[in-house]
Each structure stands twice: as C-alpha cells, then as structure tokens.
Amino acid sequence: MNTKKPYLHRVLGLILFATLIVNQGCQKSFLNVPPQATPPVVTFWKTADDATKAVNAAYANLHEYTNIAFASIAVESVGSDEAEKGSDPNDATFINDFDTFTATSTEGQISDFWGGEYKTINLANQVLDNVPGINMDASLKARYLAEVKFIRAYAYFRLVRAFGDVPLRLHVPKNATEFNIPRAPKAQVWAAIETDLTDAATVLPQNYGSADIGRITKGAALALHAKAALYQKKWADVVTFTNQVMGLGYSLFPNFEQQFRTTNKNNSESIFEIQVEKVPGNPAASNSQYSQFQGVRGIPAGGYGFNVPTTDLLNEFEPGDPRKNGTIIFRGSTTAEGDVIPEVGVPNPMYNYKAYVPFNLFDPNYPQGCQQDKIVLRYADVLLMNAEANNELGNTAPALVSLELVRARARQGDITILPRVIITDPAALRTAIYHERKVELAMEFDRYFDVIRQGRGTAVFGIKGWKANKNEVWPIPQNEIDLSAGVLTQNPGY
C-alpha cells in the first residue's frame, strides 16, 4: 500500500515491441536511451539493466493509446447505461455503434482494443521468457517476474470479459505454428489469470520505498484475483482474497472527489493505478490520453469530451449523495478546484469528473490532462466485492459491514443522507449492493461488465438493443480472423 506522495514512481520507459527494442520515452529515475542508441535484440537480455528496461516498458505500455483511450471507452464503457458517446454529435460517430450494440467485427476500436491487450501480453511474455536467464539479484528478478505476471493477468482479464474465449499465449512464439493459435476456452483463460495472480501475490511486497511508489503490490495481485473470482462467481474465493486485502492497511480516502485529483495520486485508497507523468521537455513521452479524451469539450484546458455521464446515472444517486458532484461535472457549474464550466460553447450537459485535471495544470504544448493516472483498483471496490460475495454466501452481517463502510465515507458524517442499509433479505441486499457499485464506481469502466456478469444485460441494456446470447461479448476482430486463415472463429451472432 502507498499512503505517501513523495517522489512518485513513473513508468515512461523503453517499449519492447515484437522482438525489437524501440524508445518510448524516459522517466526521472531510469535510463533515457535515445532512439539512435537502441541496442539490437541480439545484445539485449544480458544484464539486470536490460531486465529493468523491459519491465518498465511493460508498465509504460499500459497508458498507450489503444489501452487507455478510444478503444477502451468504446469496448469497456459506452455500452453501459451510465455513459454515452458525448463530444460533438458529428465527431467519431462510430462510437454510437457501441451504445446501440450495432458494432461489427470490422469496427476499428474492437481491433485496437484486441491489439492493445496482446501487445501488453507480448511485452510481459518477453520478460517472462528472457529475464529468468539473466544473472542478477535473485529477489529483484523474482519481483520483476511477479510484476509482469500481474500485467499479463490484467490484459487477459480485460480480453476475456470483452470477448470470452481468446487465444492464450503464455510465451513468445518461436515460429508460425506457435503464432497462429486458436481461441482457448474462457475457463482456461481464467485459470491462467488466477495462476499468474497467485504467483504474483506470493512474491510481491506489500509496499515500496519512495522511488518505486506506483509499482504493483501484493494488494494489487490479491484485489485483481478477487475480481477474477467475482466474474466466475467463486464467492468463497472473493471473500478470501478481499479479506486479505482488507488486512493490508488500505483505507478509504476521506474526500471522495479529491482521491481522483493529481495531487493525491497513489493515496491510501489506491491499490493500483496506471502511472503517468508530464515529462519536462518531452511531450511525446507525456502521452496518456485517458483524461484528454474525456475532458470538458469546448475549453482549451479540457479535452475532447467523450464518454459522458447519462441521465440514468444522474438519477441513480440518492438525494444529497455528495458522490454525484464528485463524479459528474455539470455544464454551467464551478468545480471544487474553482474551474468555471460555461453554459455556452460546451456541447454536453455532463462530463466525467473522475478524469478531470484542473485547468491551471494545462500546458498547450502537451496533451490535456497528461498528468492524470488511471485508477484500476481501489479499496472501495474491494469492500463492495466483499459485500457482494458475503451476501451471496448468506453472510449478511459482514456484507452489511463492508457496504456501510463505503456509504459512511460518502455521507461524510451527515446522517440525514445515505441512511444505513439494514436488510436481511439476500435479494434486497443484492439490489442495494448493485446500486452502491453503480454510484461508487461510476465512470470507472466497470459498470458495463458488472451488469453482464450479474445476468441483467437484457433488463438493463435491452432498451438500447442488447441481445442475450450475443452481446455478452463483443465480436472477434475480423482482421484477426482473416490473418489466422480461419483458425480464429467468430462469436455467435456476429
């Protein structure tokens, strides 16, 4: 766990792509190798420094465009009832196809998402295949391997919930036969994810020194393992892993809205967030577009205005719930940081506050919001997973305790809002927990898959065109099927 905010660990290192080493950027505490000094692959994988560069490359790739921007918005968010395309009506109209479930296998964002995750997997596999042979400190080597096992598991987690069965590649292919492999059953993919996370949690430290804050921890591996178990309805495992995380010292950040601000990166609630940084003199390395794509449109310091909250989400908040104003930026309002959002020139009535970066940090020579980390796992999610799993097991008392912790932070001591949930009926408590997940984790790219794993796709998304036995997953990219000469098969209904 990282409760301090000293010198943040930033991962803007070298990117390994396929079998070549190419320069991605630099970070403060790691080597900055200019492109012309890029070593040929035959001289790489020799030293501990090579291992460090390769692991940093895997981290850096997490904030690459296909991992964190348009493709993620399309595949992981816009299909839900909490978000819609936003931006200018005529800009990127293809995103609407994800909102109406008319996206086809040739849609570019589907291909980008698939490619982005397999690039992540490739970088992790290169480390896992090559670093074991390097003569270096054994404990550091073990930690590096554990870190990239988490990264690989995270990529497969995103793939399996988006596509179902996917090719399972656990090594760098050595020939054409190994490269062109069929889709593995999703149960096999989930098993590989769990193996990686079990291995990682055994090795990873609970926290780091100041120079390495932001790296993957034991808590991150356990939390993602709990989430993988949640999607498989392994309720006892969810309770086991969340209980372990709850014993590691994390705590809910006192101010809901402030936990997402750049001044509070890696706070007491953050379990894992994708690290980004504005690198002085290097706009190309300051390349996270997570915030830029979702920032308030029509303001130079804002952004492109995609992935905006819906009226459905707005109406889900209970009267007085302060999380509403910590989740949604309203046109015509002033943010807690003092930025005025005008009524005129701003095309959308609402924007994602969690992706917002205060306007005084804007530099016209850099992408808007390039300082904003992407939070992947936070403690509130762990508590809500614990509540849900305990309720499914009939353990009402601990379920209510975890649920109340989240609601208590939200109400900020005002007992007139968000009353305690006192429910003993499992079905009614399930509904309350689902509601709490929707308002607490809103606009964090979980809602769409939450509804599907809960078996409520038709009830919640049917009005938008969602169809059972088809839209539980997105189509496999047609270009990947074509490249495989038919080895890859398409999902039913596409």
Rg (CA), the chain: 22
% of the chain at pLDDT higher than 90: 87
pLDDT at 26 over 80: no
Q: For residue 177, what pLDDT is reported?
A: 83
Has residue 68 been placed in a domain? yes
Calculate mean pLDDT across residues 116-137. 98
Amino acid at the residue 278: K
Has residue 481 been placed in a domain? no
Nearby residues of 298 by Cβ (< 8 Å), 6 or more positions away: 305, 342, 345, 346, 347
pLDDT at 137 over 80: yes
Has residue 379 been placed in a domain? yes
Has residue 480 been placed in a domain? no
Least confident of 22-26, 38-42, 219-223, 406-410: 22-26
Can you count the helices (H) and strands (E) in the chain? 19, 8
The CA distance from 346 to 331, in Å, is: 7
pLDDT at 31 over 70: no
Tokens of 373: 């980390």
Has residue 487 been placed in a domain? no
pLDDT at 365 over 70: yes
In our burial notation (b when 16+ CB lie closer than 10 A, e otherwise), range 8-40 reads bbbbbbbbbeeeebebbbbbeebebeeeeeeee
- Better-predicted residue by pLDDT, 377 or 284: 377
Has residue 322 been placed in a domain? yes
What global pTM score does this model have? 0.92
Has residue 10 been placed in a domain? no
Number of domains, the chain:
1
Q: Which one, of 160, 150, 81, lies nearest residue 113 by Cα?
A: 160
Has residue 1 been placed in a domain? no
pLDDT at 457 over 60: yes
Calculate mean pLDDT across residues 73-88. 98
Specify the CATH number for the domain of residue 441.
Answer: 1.25.40.390
Between CA 140 and CA 147, with CA 145 as vertex, the angle to 5 degrees is 95
Amino acid at the residue 146: A
Q: Furthest-apart CA pair in the chain: how many Å?
A: 67
Q: What values do phi and psi take at 406, rounded to 5? A: -70, -45
- Give 293-334 pLDDT, tens digit per residue: 999 999 999 999 999 999 999 999 999 999 999 999 999 999
Domain region containing 383: 15-451
pLDDT at 182 over 50: yes
pLDDT at 7 over 80: no
